[in-house]
Amino acid sequence: MEQAREREFECRRQLMGEVIEDIQATRSGFRAADNLTREELYDRAKARAEVTGTAAGERKVQEHRSCN
């Protein structure tokens, strides 16, 4: 059980590192202009559509889910 938790933690740590590297590579960082309005934040249908799309980030998450 403990070994499974450690493996999951390492997979998540690696994914977080890759996400941070991607953000730094684009040199865009986070800007106030990128903030969502309240309406956009709670538009669950739109969020679901974006998540189920074929975004580049989705493939990385899929790869890491195989670690579980």
Query: Looking at the 3D structure of the chain, how many domains does it have?
Result: 1
Helices (H), the chain: 2-26, 38-41, 44-51, 56-65
- Rounded Cα–Cα distance for residues 46 and 60 (Å): 21
Q: What domain range is 32 assigned to? A: 2-65
Q: Are the C-beta atoms of 6 and 48 separated by less than 8 Å?
A: no
- Hey, what are 60's tokens? 């990385």
Residue 17 pLDDT = 93
pTM, 2 dp: 0.43
pLDDT single digits (tens) 4-21: 889 999 999 999 999 888
Confidence of residue 56 (pLDDT cuts 50, 70, 90): very low
Residue 29 confidence (pLDDT) above 70: no
